[in-house]
Structure 1
């Protein structure tokens, strides 16, 4: 089980600033909610947690005793029982690690919480090691036997999408003994380097204009109205990242090499192959997306940032201007209750059922919103397990983009609630589809706010903000994906110095951002703080996939709104039980069609057209 979140939006949402609920200016944000984790466990000494841990130890051993060496000889009914027992083990393990992980992310600098999570992870690794046989042995079942089992029991056949994904790894699995060794060693491999990265990031302090700040507060300066403050924040980030760049380079070198060794032993053809298999998406579909976005750089980011430079009265932009607010943008803070009403009204405008599904997040302790010392940066929605409910983490400080982050993460939460009916094995959505509901929730909120714009000036600010978010979600994430591709390819040739990694980073930044930008000394180190590269290699293309998919979906909604809601909810309820082709077919869409991605990109282009028209 992975205790870290299923969806982080750190990369495409500028981060909040202060640890207080009353930011600069004295305007309170209101009563910011905190998590109530008691739906998982009342505490780390809860008797239910002790009971579940003991059950897990016993059941894992019993499962191995009952089934190891016997899978191919099971009847369809016996295989169904086996799958259901395995699913229950996943559920209990997921519940434990969700509790440990969420507590840790609330205060990553708390040694007791870090130890508790590590201890839980160590015990679960120990208990589940006897289960490593299952996927290996299941994949050795002959295709004819597998097909006969599926045909013989409809309840078993319901699990087929998950089992087919499992069998997709069949050509790449190692011997049982080696797989067990890798499972045991995982706690001192990638998991340990992930923790080192998290703890290093959480412990960094930055001197910004004489004030010592954490990474959240410092990153927030990059969106300040005052250009001198933006520059101060950027230079502080560059200085501290530079001082720690060797540690971050060591983390990346080690993880990329570990991945290369694993991929080589498994025979995976490319560093990206494992992610594509996990996402249940064809490599050519991802490459079509990547190529379409890169080809569109001049029509999207280059064109937009040229406009932005004009609005800011600048000939060239510095990196601290990329997420700068526009001069005509209102600087007022959006209180929590206003943010809640804005998002909930937009959700209800689409369908009252959507708002009803979102309501418990606000009323039942499912959101942790405030910025606090040691809290993990960014935002995420973590699904926990299907017998509980998701939890949303924000770092809310009242900026308009924070409202969009709320809409985004709440979309994830609604998706996870709806998909829970599929059960533990089928509820989890491949990353390529995991961003669908979140980006759609953002789009609903944006469209509702745009419709309420009081004049062209306000409309212009809102359109510009949306274009920036879309560029951050599509262009920037594909640039990140290219950086990862280059990093892993280069690491296969040997150890990379920090300067080597810096050069790879700058090559994709210059290409994606365009000629209007200049780059300060130290910006070459900004790859260092991005968690996706460490926690989830090649995750980032899922953002662009999701944005393009939602843009096409929203166009379908505008073209034919009648009956759309029912099809949309059916898609979310499907979770991971269907391939993207099946999910999109009712809407007349097909992601394997190269023209599909141009549809999504044309929506961004249309917004830029409107911005240029508003210039007069």
Structure 2
């Protein structure tokens, strides 16, 4: 637990290509909302921002003066004061960097916005270097003394889950001097390479049938009804990715090596260890999930894509057919108003409270939905700080999947609003549980749409779309996780060439997608644009974890578990204050049980069964 400017945005991105829109904004979508960032700061040159920046710098200096070298001697009451002062610094630093980051992601090609973010990042990093001692000293407190402090009635007992997680890092902690160096160096290390990746992908252009498109618009072609347009988009992507592959290879080589060096100094047993620790999840739980999904490839993705090839009248699918709409699916633009009403209606059908929590996003400038030059790709929900509110970014094109993305990101936003009551240190949910409300929101929206659909062709299209989303969320993300595992293992043996990384990518693609596919020349470079590999190594298994967890939760909901809604809201409101075992116990679920994951996968299998039955 360390304040760091390089982690100012917890970007919750959608799954893979299926949720990445974007072309020019269509006029018949209705008025699309834009962010009002004034709840953070009125303007980049506002006196409020300058004041808070100076306050953070002074507060860090004062905190270090008052507590450095003294943590072990504090009694319970003084420790509580110390932690709450630390939390206030966290809130103020988070507010500043949230504003700079969100403003930057509205237009990553704007040099003024990029400069502001870089300058503030430098100042916050410099200021918070004074706080590096905090976690190091805290982890040095003897166990007996630690337990006494957190057991005292007038002490910091409610914060114990935060510090239990922090103390899990004790075996991997470096000296104070080295920790300060890593903290200072972060702005020219991973953060700088992350920024290079973002700015590079945002500036890429693709020539498709004489038209120049950005990355989002070109990715959007992969879901076009016209197969020739899909192919043109895929080939344009391959051409540009291939042309830039040396830069992307350098970024991945550098980040993987940097991580390996730090892991070596910390004596981390595996490249994945840090992620598992931050997620507060046991490696064996992740391994059980990974094994259950890979074992299910033949009865999920392989089986579904063979079915889809028949629907499309093809002997083999090309990569541009993977997310193609069905021939019977009628293309229809969904206006923003209809999307809003659909999602809010589905949320209200579960509980009016859920819809009430989502409503302000539409009314108060908490969503930025339009497609604009330089805007960050994809979608995310950023919690900012617990004293303000979350903001949702979308690139809305009016497709059914965009409606599902809206439901997904609003789920994150609702989760973040509920967890905010825990306070800054306890609100943050481990990534493995961070997808719970988002995927549950998608499921509610999907079920509401399915219930209203009586036309067989429309029901088939809706079911197929959901199966593809679940495959992208579970199968694709576990394949991505395997790719990352292979990449980091290979990088440990030496520098990787583009051909090396391409081969790793294709090995997991063939395994996960199955024999229904042929892979065009150039597809081997499609690893280059996936932001998760750059921003959050090994993040991707959280999507599969979340989907499996939600499928099991939804089964309990459908089975009529008593007081389900109350238990659900209690789980979301817990934020990061409880372990996944404790959170799932009221639902009779246990993620450490291998059968738990099979239960979730069986829901996907059941949808495929229904689709196959429609063919009979």
User: In the alignment, what sits opposite 1:230?
Assistant: 230
- Are 2:30 and 1:9 aligned? no
User: In the alignment, what sits opposite 2:171?
Assistant: 171
- Are 2:571 and 1:571 aligned? yes
- Are 2:26 and 1:21 aligned? yes
Could you tell me whether the CA contact under 8 Å between 2:108 and 2:375 is conserved in 1? yes
- Are 2:556 and 1:552 aligned? no
Query: Partners in 1 of 2:462 and 2:151 — Cα distance?
Result: 54
- Are 2:99 and 1:93 aligned? no
Query: Partners in 1 of 2:424 and 2:382 — Cα distance?
Result: 14
Query: Partners in 1 of 2:19 and 2:418 — Cα distance?
Result: 28
How far off its partner does 1:153 sit?
3.2
SS of match in other structure, 1:327: coil
Q: How does 1:426-575 map to 2 (within 5 A)?
A: 426-575=426-575
Query: Partners in 2 of 1:148 and 1:177 — Cα distance?
Result: 29
User: In the alignment, what sits opposite 2:286?
Assistant: 286
Query: Partners in 2 of 1:213 and 1:556 — Cα distance?
Result: 45
User: In the alignment, what sits opposite 2:419?
Assistant: 419
- Are 2:122 and 1:117 aligned? no
User: In the alignment, what sits opposite 1:357?
Assistant: 357
How far off its partner does 1:561 sit?
4.4
Could you tell me whether the CA contact under 8 Å between 2:532 and 2:539 is conserved in 1? yes
Q: Deviations over 1:99-142 (max 9, x none)?
A: 00000000000000001000010000000001000000100000
How far off its partner does 1:154 sit?
5.3
Q: How does 1:16-95 map to 2 (within 5 A)?
A: 16-22=21-27, 28-95=28-95
Query: Partners in 2 of 1:155 and 1:471 — Cα distance?
Result: 47
User: In the alignment, what sits opposite 2:393?
Assistant: 393
User: In the alignment, what sits opposite 2:330?
Assistant: 330
Query: Partners in 1 of 2:344 and 2:87 — Cα distance?
Result: 34
Q: Deviations over 1:542-578 (max 9, x none)?
A: 0000000000000000112431000000000000000
Could you tell me whether the CA contact under 8 Å between 1:12 and 1:473 is conserved in 2? no
Could you tell me whether the CA contact under 8 Å between 1:40 and 1:95 is conserved in 2? yes
Could you tell me whether the CA contact under 8 Å between 1:354 and 1:414 is conserved in 2? yes
How far off its partner does 1:12 sit?
5.6
Instruction: Identify which range, 493-502 or 9-18, moves more after superposition.
Output: 9-18
SS of match in other structure, 1:42: coil
Q: Deviations over 1:311-351 (max 9, x none)?
A: 00001000000000000112010000000000000000000
Q: Deviations over 1:475-525 (max 9, x none)?
A: 000000000000000000000000000000000000000001000010000
Could you tell me whether the CA contact under 8 Å between 1:14 and 1:223 is conserved in 2? no
Query: Partners in 2 of 1:43 and 1:344 — Cα distance?
Result: 32
Could you tell me whether the CA contact under 8 Å between 1:21 and 1:370 is conserved in 2? no
Q: How does 1:296-311 map to 2 (within 5 A)?
A: 296-311=296-311
SS of match in other structure, 1:239: helix
User: In the alignment, what sits opposite 2:599?
Assistant: 599
User: In the alignment, what sits opposite 2:348?
Assistant: 348
The gaps in structure 2 that reach 5 residues or longer are none
Q: CA RMSD in A?
A: 0.8
Query: Partners in 2 of 1:121 and 1:189 — Cα distance?
Result: 13
Q: Normalised by the size of structure 2, how large is the TM-score?
A: 0.98
Q: Deviations over 1:350-378 (max 9, x none)?
A: 00000000000000000000111000000
Could you tell me whether the CA contact under 8 Å between 2:76 and 2:155 is conserved in 1? no
Could you tell me whether the CA contact under 8 Å between 1:21 and 1:32 is conserved in 2? no
User: In the alignment, what sits opposite 1:25?
Assistant: none
How far off its partner does 1:277 sit?
0.1
Could you tell me whether the CA contact under 8 Å between 1:10 and 1:379 is conserved in 2? no
Q: Normalised by the size of structure 1, how large is the TM-score?
A: 0.98
Query: Partners in 1 of 2:24 and 2:55 — Cα distance?
Result: 40
SS of match in other structure, 1:159: helix
User: In the alignment, what sits opposite 2:402?
Assistant: 402
Query: Partners in 1 of 2:302 and 2:411 — Cα distance?
Result: 30
Query: Partners in 2 of 1:601 and 1:210 — Cα distance?
Result: 43
Query: Partners in 2 of 1:227 and 1:561 — Cα distance?
Result: 45
How far off its partner does 1:3 sit?
3.1
Query: Partners in 2 of 1:214 and 1:372 — Cα distance?
Result: 10
